[in-house]
Chains A and B, each alone.
Chain A
Amino acid sequence: GAVVSQHPSRVICKSGTSVKIECRSLDFQATTMFWYRQFPKKSLMLMATSNEGSKATYEQGVEKDKFLINHASLTLSTLTVTSAHPEDSSFYICSASPGQGGGFATNEKLFFGSGTQLSVL
């Protein structure tokens, strides 16, 4: 099946610094990527949807200046947590959806990265 690689799997940073998380589709072109956040014992919460070459669409309540999303190519999306604070500590997961060229309707199927555990001290 399709593979999505997410790095790093775990990161610890100091308060006030920025952290970048990468999400790559290894064997397909992802026209759409999704970023989720999960708090302990809570649902996966959709943060934003990014389409290659255009600005990300953020869900209500998600600060776009804090969580910068870039989807510069069909195989790479990045999430940068800027000026991180302890309350940003969470598990972040990306998912990618193949485009029409992959034989699937856009967003028909989702393939997930393994997640990034962010701890802000």
Chain B
Amino acid sequence: GNSVTQMEGPVTLSEEAFLTINCTYTATGYPSLFWYVQYPGEGLQLLLKATKADDKGSNKGFEATYRKETTSFHLEKGSVQVSDSAVYFCALRKGTSGTYKYIFGTGTRLKVLA
């Protein structure tokens, strides 16, 4: 079946450190891949996405590349800030318009220290 596996947290980094949060997926066909972020007290928000192999999604300094050969979509940022502290969810989307389903990973909590 379809599934998403992401690294367990929490991940604790100092400000300006390099961030990687690993995400791998299992799916038939070619799903679209997403990273969502949840700040304290708020709902999940779309951070970035990629819809086909080798696509790179990017937003707010975060990047992730859709790697079909390794079925991965790792999230990276070159220099994290305290304001990046949040929970990050990797997700895949299957189906067609009107029948999409999203499958999420467990979420990884990131804590950035000043």
Binding site for B on A (CB under 8 A): 1, 4, 6, 9, 34, 36, 38, 41-44, 46, 49, 93, 95, 97, 105-115
State whether B43 touches A114 (Cβ < 8 A): yes
State whether B97 touches A107 (Cβ < 8 A): yes
Per-residue contact bits, chain B 44-85, to A (CB 8 Å; 1 contact, 0 not):
111000000000000000000000000000000000000000
A20 to B49 alpha-carbon distance, docked (Å): 33
Is B105's beta carbon under 8 Å from chain A?
Answer: yes
The residue that B46 contacts in the complex, of A6, A38, A109, with Cβ under 8 A, is A109
Known contacts A44-B89, A113-B43; A107/B106 CB under 8 A: no
Per-residue contact bits, chain B 1-21, to A (CB 8 Å; 1 contact, 0 not):
000100010000000000000
Write out the residue numbers on chain A whose beta carbons fall within 8 Å of the beta carbon of B41: 9, 114
Count how many pairs of residues, one from A and one from B, have CB atoms less than 8 Å apart in the complex.
55
A109 to B46 alpha-carbon distance, docked (Å): 9
Number of interface residues of B (CB under 8 A): 23
Q: Which chain B residue has the least Cβ–Cβ distance from A5?
A: B43
Supply 25 A–B pairs (Cβ within 8 Å), ascending by A: A1-B45, A34-B102, A43-B4, A43-B104, A44-B89, A44-B104, A44-B107, A46-B103, A93-B43, A93-B44, A95-B43, A105-B97, A106-B97, A106-B98, A107-B97, A107-B99, A107-B100, A110-B44, A110-B46, A110-B102, A111-B43, A112-B36, A112-B45, A114-B42, A114-B43
